Amino acid sequence: MPVRHATVRQLRVFDAVARHRSFSRAAEELHLSQPAVSMQVKALEAQAGLPLLEQVGKKIFLTEAGQVVHGRANTVIRELAEADEALAALQGLTEGRLPIAVVSTAKYFAPPLLARFLRAHPAVKLELAIDNREAVIAKLGANEVDLAIMGRPPAELDTASQAFAPHPHVVIAPAGHPLAGRKRLRLEDLARERFVVREPGSGTRTLLEKHFADRGLTVPVAMQMASNETIKQAVIAGLGLSFLSRHTLGLELAAGRLVALDVVGMPLLREWYVVHLAPKRLLPVASACRAFILAEAPRLLASPEWGEGGWPAPEKHRSA
């Protein structure tokens, strides 16, 4: 029997095993027994006529055939979910899956923002992925998510995007640093310091390097780290200055553990965007969430908690 006769149940079970690389975790997710999961996978393999999984030691891997079937299974499952949402829309309902990807810098405000949306739409099942920019773009390009929140739309994809709030970036130092009390610092003053920066390719680092390069300077990189949290701890420990989104710094600035330096031309402003693939037809849940983000995020990020008030007029940068 060819694989086209596979049941939706078999595809869902195989998808869970492929994602978790584990029969037991797939069984837990699906509320099935492990033997039931194994039986469904074996039935699908019998229809495919090829092994879909292989076990090496305690680890499970997809075979080449398994990768093909898993990709098609994802498409089928996603199409069925979208059909459910479309039918729900005809009945005047807003419910269903909502897969969203968020760049790591937005993890500070995106969860409370989306929690507000869920309170208004309790039937929605949110699937939130928080990752670095490259991973978010990959998920968006693979049509694994309906929406993405990021600092700048990806030039390499055909996307529809809309800015929804300012995104200020500042230079930070530990409390008590010699530059902390000075006013109107010049970029040349910073070029003599040590900087702890994000990994190459991150939007934050790209913005900083461009700002220095526009003035004929080079960022004095002492070390690089892939986590905003780790960078903040490194700065607090005195390992150098850094340049981060103001939206990541609320607690540390309020507690006096970090200070935002008074630098001429700063904060640098980018914008936050909500993005989706241009050819993608957003179903009601995603459309409702996008409209909510555009309406509510500016109010959330303008609150004192996020430090939008009181800044001098910044120099606006919109790097591609």
Tell me which H or E stretch contains 25: helix 23-30
217 class by beta-carbon count within 10 Å (0-12 exposed, 13-18 middle, 19+ buried): middle
The encoded tokens of residue 305 equal: 């908690």
Q: Which of 36, 53, 83 is the last residue in one of the domains?
A: 83
- Closest by CA to 65, choosing from 80, 79, 81, 45, is 45
For residues 158 and 291, state if they share a domain.
yes
Mean pLDDT of 26-37: 89
Residue 230 belongs to domain with CATH number: 3.40.190.10
- Closest by CA to 224, choosing from 247, 243, 249, is 243
Q: Does 43 reside within a domain?
A: yes
The encoded tokens of residue 244 equal: 């981060």
What is the pTM (predicted TM-score) of this model? Answer: 0.66
- Closest by CA to 260, choosing from 161, 165, 190, is 190
Q: How confident is the model at residue 90 (pLDDT cuts 50, 70, 90)?
A: low
For residues 118 and 198, state if they share a domain.
no
Q: Which of 58, 83, 108 is the last residue in one of the domains?
A: 83
Residue 26 belongs to domain with CATH number: 1.10.10.10
Length of the chain: 320
d(CA 114, CA 292): 9
For residues 257 and 174, state if they share a domain.
yes
Q: What is the pLDDT of residues 249-284, one digit of tens each?
A: 988 988 999 999 999 999 998 899 999 999 988 888
Radius of gyration of the chain measured on its C-alpha atoms: 24
Question: Comparing 10-14, 168-172, 194-198, which segment has the lowest mean pLDDT?
Answer: 10-14
Q: How confident is the model at residue 94 (pLDDT cuts 50, 70, 90)?
A: low
For residues 278 and 156, state if they share a domain.
yes
For residues 75 and 102, state if they share a domain.
no
pLDDT value of position 242? 97
User: Is residue 75 predicted with pLDDT exceeding 90?
Assistant: no
For residues 104 and 189, state if they share a domain.
no
Q: Does 88 reside within a domain?
A: no
pLDDT value of position 123? 86
Task: Determine the distance from the C-alpha atom of residue 120 to the mean position of all C-alpha atoms in its chain, rounded to a whole number.
Answer: 22
d(CA 69, CA 272): 37
For residues 160 and 251, state if they share a domain.
no
For residues 57 and 112, state if they share a domain.
no
Contact status, residue 148 vs residue 101, Cβ threshold 8 Å: yes
Mean pLDDT of 3-23: 85
- Provide the 8-state DSSP code for 185: B
Q: Does 89 reside within a domain?
A: no
Q: What is the pLDDT of residues 129-158, one digit of tens each?
A: 999 889 999 999 999 999 999 988 999 999
User: Is residue 128 predicted with pLDDT exceeding 90?
Assistant: yes
Non-local (6+) Cβ contacts of 165 within 8 A are 271, 272, 297, 298, 301, 302
Question: Comparing 22-36, 91-105, 244-258, which segment has the lowest mean pLDDT?
Answer: 91-105
- Closest by CA to 124, choosing from 142, 147, 140, is 147
For residues 142 and 275, state if they share a domain.
yes
Q: Which of 269, 285, 307 is the last residue in one of the domains?
A: 269
d(CA 69, CA 11): 9
What is the domain range of residue 220? 167-269
Mean of per-residue pLDDT scores for the chain: 87
Q: Does 277 reside within a domain?
A: yes
Question: Comparing 57-71, 184-198, 214-228, which segment has the lowest mean pLDDT?
Answer: 57-71
Number of structural domains found in the chain: 3
CA angle, residues 271, 274, 278, in degrees to nearest 5: 125
d(CA 203, CA 105): 10
For residues 172 and 116, state if they share a domain.
no
d(CA 141, CA 156): 9
Q: How confident is the model at residue 83 (pLDDT cuts 50, 70, 90)?
A: confident
d(CA 225, CA 192): 20
- Closest by CA to 189, choosing from 284, 80, 264, is 264
Tell me which H or E stretch contains 121: none
For residues 7 and 76, state if they share a domain.
yes
For residues 262 and 276, state if they share a domain.
no
d(CA 159, CA 277): 4
Phi, psi of 303 (to 5 degrees): -75, 155
